[in-house]
Amino acid sequence: MDILAAPRNVDHSLTRRMAAWDSAWARQLLPPVEEAAEHTKLWWAAAATMAAVGGLRGRRAAAAGITAMAVAELLSNAVVKKLVERRRPPKEWIPHDDVEDRPDSSSFPSGHTAAAVAFTAAVAPTWPWAGAACAVPTLLVAIERIHSGAHYPSDVAAGAAIGLSVAALVRSAPRLALRHLV
C-alpha cells in the first residue's frame, strides 16, 4: 500500500488545475511577476526602497529580509534540491507556452517561494506595513510557480516552510547571540 498515493494524487490534480487556469489577469500579471522574482531582483528592489525611504526601521527591515532571503535561497537551492531529486510537472499537463521556460533543476522545493516568503516574513516584524506590501507579490510568486508548470503545490508549500523557518531563525539570531554573550 502506497501511503503517499492520495497526497500525490491531490498534488498532481492541483497542478493540472492551476496550470490550466486561463484568465486575462493570469496571462498579464503572472509573467512579469516571475520575471521580477528571477534572481531575486524583486526583493533586492524592495530592500533598496525600504532602506532609502524607511529610515532606521527600513534599513533594519531590509537587512533582515535580505539575510533571510539569502539563507533560504542557499538552503533550498544548494542543499535540499541536491538531496531531493524530483522531476518538474510533465509538459503535457501545462496547456500554455510558459512550460518551455522551466529550469532543469529538481522541482523540490520551490527556491523562488522560499526566498519570497523568507524575505517577507523577516521584514514584517520590523516594519509590518512593508511586510504586508511584500506579501502580495510573495503570494503571486507562489501562484506563478505552479501556474507556469515549474512546480507542484507541494514544492511551493515546502519552499514556504523553508522561508518561514529561515525568517524565524534570522529574527531570533540576535537574541540568541546576546544570550551567549551575557
Q: Residues 107, 149: contact at Cβ < 8 Å?
A: no
Residue 3 covered by a domain: no
Question: Mean pLDDT in each 10-residue stretch from start to end of the chain (182 residues)?
Answer: 73 80 79 83 96 95 95 94 89 71 82 97 96 95 89 94 96 62 44
Record the pTM.
Answer: 0.88
* pLDDT recorded at residue 4: 66
Residue 73 covered by a domain: yes
Residue 9 covered by a domain: no
* pLDDT recorded at residue 178: 44
Q: Residues 86, 97: contact at Cβ < 8 Å?
A: no
Residue 91 covered by a domain: no
178: its cell numbers = 546576546
Residue 118 covered by a domain: yes
Which residues constitute the domain of residue 151? 32-85+102-181
Q: Supply the DSSP string of 76-106, one letter for each residue.
A: IIIIIHHH---PPPPGGG--SGGGGS--SS-
* pLDDT recorded at residue 16: 79
Residue 97 covered by a domain: no
* pLDDT recorded at residue 177: 46
CA 134 to chain centre: 12
Residue 140 covered by a domain: yes
Which of these, 100, 102, 88, lies nearest to 151 by C-alpha position?
Answer: 88
Residue 20 covered by a domain: no
Q: Residues 162, 75: contact at Cβ < 8 Å?
A: yes
* pLDDT recorded at residue 3: 66
The total number of structural domains that make up the chain: 1
* pLDDT recorded at residue 42: 93
